[in-house]
Structure 1
Amino acid sequence: MHSPIRLLNEAGVTFHAPATASEISAAEIQIGQPLPDDLRNLYLDHNGEEGSEEPVLMARLQSLEELIEACRVSDEFWEDECPFFRHRFLPVWADGGGNYFVVFVQGEERGLIGRINHDWPYFIEPHYRDANGLYAALLDAYRRDDFDLMRDYTGDSGMGQQERQVFDAHLATYNPALDAPIREYHGAFLLTLCPLGREQELLPLLRDDGLAVFTSRLLVRRKCHWALPALTDAAREHAPNSSIVFNLLNAITDLDAPNTGEALVKLARDFPVTLSVHYLIEALQRHGFRVERPQNAQQARIRVETEPDGWLVLAWADS
Structure 2
Amino acid sequence: MEVNSISSVEANNQTRQVMEFVLLGFSGMLNGQRYLFLAYFTIYLVTIAGNIMIFTLIQLDSHLHSPMYFFLSHLSCLDVCLSSVTVPKILVNLLHRQHTISHNECMAQMFFLMSFTGAEAVLLAAMAYDRYVAICRPLYYSGLMNPKACVQLATTAWVWGFLHSAFHTALSTNLHFCGHNQIGHIFCDIPPLLKIACGDLYINLMATQVASVFIGLVPFLAIGLSYFYILSSVLRIPSNAGRHKALSTCASHVIVVTFYFGNGLVNYNQFGQGYSLERDTLISTMYCIVPPALNPLIYSLRNKEVKGALRKLLENQRK
User: What TM-score do you get using the length of structure 2 for normalisation?
Assistant: 0.24
Greater share of helix residues, 1 or 2? 2
Higher relative contact order (CA 8 A, sep 6+): 2
Bigger CA radius of gyration? 1
Greater share of strand residues, 1 or 2? 1
User: What TM-score do you get using the length of structure 1 for normalisation?
Assistant: 0.24
